[in-house]
Amino acid sequence: MLKILDKYIIRKFLSTFFFMLGIIMLFAVVFDVSEKLSEFISHRAPFSAIIFEYYLGFIIFHGNMFSSMIIFISVIWFTAKMAQDTEIIPMWFSGRPINRFLRPYIIASTILMVLSLVLNHFIVPRTNKIRLEFEEKYYRDVMTVENYHAEYPGNQIVYFSNYSNQEDEVKDLVVQQWNDSMQPCFFLKARKAKNIRGTNKWILTDVYEKHLDFPKGTLIHAAKKDTLFNFQIDEMSQRENIAETMTYSELTKMIQREKFKGSAFVPYYEIELYQRTSYPFATYILTIIGVAVSSRKKRGGVGINIAIGLGFVFVYIFSMKVMAVAAIKIGFPAYISVWIPNILFAIVALFLFRSAQK
């Protein structure tokens, strides 16, 4: 059963969190509007689309992304305020175990952690898809892909020199096929190629097609050719943040496919996948650190506690960025990289809380 003290701390925890979240998101929206308003006007973006397709997804995405940090600052803020008002001293010297003081914090953290997990795996990818489609239509610059090279199932190699989403046309497409004995059996080159969106149908222009059938081969030239391939332009011309629009199952399937192709974006996708779980669990660690840092009354008041807390936030963010770079640049396993900051800061949290008890 929750005691009066538990309900009091949980209410303070959640109310402070959502208040700070609202203030921070308000400032974020204001700054984003000031940056992108001219683009929205020049592209004639409808007001309803700006609100419900872009900024609704913007708030959900960024609010969830920074929720652990906002939780940390919220805990420091209201706990330090309680310490300054001498509300914590009777709790610490009531004769009950010190760990009992953490109970309402853990309950509130669990509520927010579960909410963040649900958002990460089910809701945010869908809202991101709507938001990024809006950006592609009304804001983003032209996307180009140059010197694309990948291996597809069935011993098929695909290359093209250039593609831009403005022209929506591939230049210098080359498709090579090998048989089970790894001998070349097919070669195709097209000066231009256009994919019918959402299908495997392609329209090729100025095509040279060679079948290497032993002991003879055939060479065919055509001004235009309609054909089917086992790939689409959507999967060949993706922005790095495409992973943000995919649910767990969609993202795992894409990672397997990109690994087979030897894509350089695999580490980015793996980091996105594992961070969706590691970030919410950081809520517990940052909550304990926040309690340990701010539960004592200090001469400098609440400001000193907030300054110390912000120092921990910057170190934590820096460690996450370092490990992400290690996964991308030197091949460090992504699932280890995203959890190392949590493990290190869990040790710090335990040390700080024990020190605070003394």
Domain for residue 251, yes or no?
no
- What is the C-alpha radius of gyration for the chain, rounded to an integer number of angstroms? 27
Task: Decide if 74 is inside a domain.
Answer: yes
Whether residues 52 and 156 fall in one domain? no
- Span 293-328, pLDDT tens digits: 877 666 655 666 677 777 777 788 788 888 888 877
The domain of 150 spans 144-238
Whether residue 161 sits in one domain with residue 125: no
Report if residue 189 sits inside a domain: yes
DSSP 160-183: EEEEETTTTEEEEEEEEEE-TTS-
- Measured N-to-C along each axis, helices 266-294 and 248-261 cross at an angle, to the nearest 10 degrees, of 130
Assigned token pair, 71: 């939780």
Say if residue 55 is in the same domain as residue 197.
no
Measured distance CA(336)–CA(270) in Å, rounded: 11
How many whole angstroms separate alpha carbon 112 and alpha carbon 69?
12
Rounded Cα–Cα distance for residues 140 and 36 (Å): 10
Is pLDDT larger for residue 56 or for residue 328? 56
Helices (H) and strands (E) in the chain, counts: 13, 6
Spell out where the chain has E strands.
Answer: 144-152, 156-164, 169-178, 184-195, 201-211, 218-228
Tell me: do 220 and 77 sit in the same domain: no
Q: Are residues 271 and 220 in the same domain?
A: no
State how far the Cα of 230 lies from the Cα of 156, in Å rounded to an integer: 9
Position 246 in a domain: no
Count of domains in the chain? Answer: 2
pLDDT tens, 176-212? 888 877 778 888 999 999 998 878 899 999 999 988 7
Last residue of a domain, one of 186, 220, 238: 238
26, 170: one domain:
no
Determine the 3-state secondary structure of 92 from DSSP.
Answer: helix
327's tokens: 């996964």
Whether residue 13 contacts residue 105, with contact meaning beta carbons closer than 8 Å, is answered with yes
- Sorted by sequence, the CB contacts under 8 Å of residue 315 that are 6+ apart come out as none
Q: Are residues 65 and 129 in the same domain?
A: yes
Residue 258 lies in a domain: no
> In terms of pLDDT, which residue wins out, 92 or 336?
336
- How confident is the model over 285-294, as pLDDT tens digits? 889 888 888 7
Measured at the alpha carbon of residue 160, what is the angle toward residues 156 and 165, in degrees to the nearest 5?
A: 120
**Is 342:289 a contact under the CB 8 Å cutoff?**
no
Length of the chain: 358
Single out the residue of 262, 305, 329 nearest to residue 80, CA to CA.
305
Is the domain of 150 the same as that of 177?
yes
Q: How many angstroms separate the CA atoms of 281 and 273, rounded?
A: 14
Give Cβ neighbours of residue 37 (< 8 Å, ≥ 6 apart).
none
Whole-model pTM? 0.77
Residue 255 lies in a domain: no
Confirm if 92 and 98 have CB atoms less than 8 A apart.
Answer: yes
Is the same domain home to 124 and 222? no
- Same domain, yes or no: 103 and 225: no
Helix, strand, coil shares, percent, the chain, to 5: 65, 15, 20
In a domain, 101, yes or no: yes
Residue 15: pLDDT band (50, 70, 90) is very high
Contact 241, 132 (CB under 8 A): yes
Q: Are residues 151 and 57 in the same domain?
A: no
Task: Give whole-number Cα distances, 55 to 86, 94, 137, in Å.
Answer: 41, 48, 15
- pLDDT exceeds cutoff 90 at 116: yes
User: What amino acid occupies position 43?
Assistant: H
Residue 257 falls inside a structural domain: no
CA–CA separation, 236 vs 195, rounded Å?
A: 11
CA gap 59, 45 in Å, rounded: 18
| pLDDT on residue 79 | 85
135 and 169 belong to one structural domain: no
44 Cβ partners below 8 Å, 6+ apart? none
pLDDT tens per residue across span 242-267: 888 888 888 888 888 878 777 777 88
